[in-house]
Amino acid sequence: MLQELDMDARGDPIDELNGLRISSLDEEDEEENANVDMNNYEDADDEYDEIEEPVTLGFVEKPKSHWALLRQYFPSKAGGFPAWLDPVNLPSGKSCICDICGEPLQFLLQVYAPISEKESTFHRTLYVFMCPSMTCLLRDQHEQWKRRSEKPSRSVKVFRCQLYRINPFYSSEPPRDDGTAKPSTTGAPLCTWCGTWKGGKVCSRCRTARYCSDKHQAAHWRSSHKLECAQIAVASQSSEPGLQNGVFLEGMQKVASKSMWPEFEIIIGYECDFDEEVSEADDHANSLVSRERMDETINSLMDNFEGDDEKKSWAVFQERIAKAPEQVLRYCRNAGSQLLWPASSGRPCEADIPKCSYCGGAVCFEFQILPQLLYYFQVNNDVNSLDWATIIVYSCAASCEASLSYKEEFAWVQLSSQSI
């Protein structure tokens, strides 16, 4: 059955924070498997006959409390805007934008995945961002095949952030599960429009709204800020005390954009706990999406795959997913973990996966994102709508340290054959 992260059940503070951990590399195997062999991902015939590492599954649900997804609670979440682990030293410059269209990237999800074997990864979160344009994702498909020397332009980006237990931003003790926990410091001001990236630009008139880019400033102005800005200017000249910090500025604290994907908490379960014979009533009585609808949407993807090899890969994928059809994420950072590919085409070979750009070491598979997430995000099933078969996230096998707080990792996107 689905296992939620339960902070009430822990005792010792160290054990409590360890309870948040999803998975980690086996320390004894880390050196032995430093050179990750990506070629075995291409052979789908016998990969599921071998003994596999346990897989942690991610499911989405609406948060039970308004504070559960705040950064001081180290959440795993999808949609909305990110809960930055380091709230000050955020990614900046071209890291924040789609390399293809130049628009700021949209937050997809984040996974809190500390590694207990290292002091520097006591807290550790991976963030995935992407451009919502399918046109850009199709271009991204061609770019990701380029060798690293060609510097591919990407519309999907991944960042890794990690902290020691003793750090400037959070208490060394685990947060209380009652909503009273506070971070140790305030974060950088964020964009008023997207609530995602650092708001380095300030509205020259009201000096209140902040933006990550000229494009988001223009979008906010067209949407509502033209009127709000005038109201704030009037309020700032009022003699009534506190009016400037009243309703107008209070409204400014909310993210203005209406195009963000819906926000969910990611809760975890373990694939071995799901049995195909579990009754539909037990598994799906409280589902956000009905079993019938989930089956229909999964089966509809079958039309995108052509040829015997493609259909064989899809059959294996569908059989595994059917055990827990609402899963949106599969996590297994253990050495030798097997990926679940929906299609036989579009898989990388060893040369396609870059080394860590910071330490030069090998990277390893960390998690994959499934297309079911798109249905929770209410993405239309149109020809030009955003779609993918799976997104594979690789990270530095050593989870190395570097001067940057947010280190860019690598994502491989597999599309269905008819999308390419």
For 148, the token pair is 């690293």
315 CB neighbour count, 10 Å cutoff: 12
Do residues 155 and 98 touch, judged by C-beta distance below 8 A? Answer: yes
Do residues 260 and 194 touch, judged by C-beta distance below 8 A? Answer: yes
pLDDT for residue 296: 53
pLDDT for residue 7: 36
Q: In 3-state terms, what secondary structure has residue 235?
A: helix
pTM value surpassing 0.85: no
Higher-pLDDT residue of 141, 275: 141
316 CB neighbour count, 10 Å cutoff: 18
Do residues 100 and 139 touch, judged by C-beta distance below 8 A? Answer: yes
pLDDT for residue 11: 39
Residue 413 half-sphere exposure, CB side, CA atoms within 13 Å? 26
Residue 22 has pLDDT above 60, yes or no: no
Q: Residue 244 — φ and ψ, nearest 5°? A: -60, -30
Q: Is the alpha carbon torsion for 13, 19, 22, 24 positive or negative?
A: positive
pLDDT for residue 295: 54
Q: Where are the beta strands (DSSP E) in 49-103?
A: 56-61, 77-78
pLDDT in tens, 339-375: 999 998 899 998 899 999 999 999 999 999 999 999 9
Do residues 215 and 222 touch, judged by C-beta distance below 8 A? Answer: no
pLDDT for residue 146: 81
Average pLDDT, stretch 123-131?
98
The residue length of the chain stands at 420
368 CB neighbour count, 10 Å cutoff: 21
CA proximity to 19, closest of 94, 67, 74: 74
For 323, the token pair is 């055990």
pLDDT in tens, 56-83: 999 999 999 989 999 999 999 999 999 9
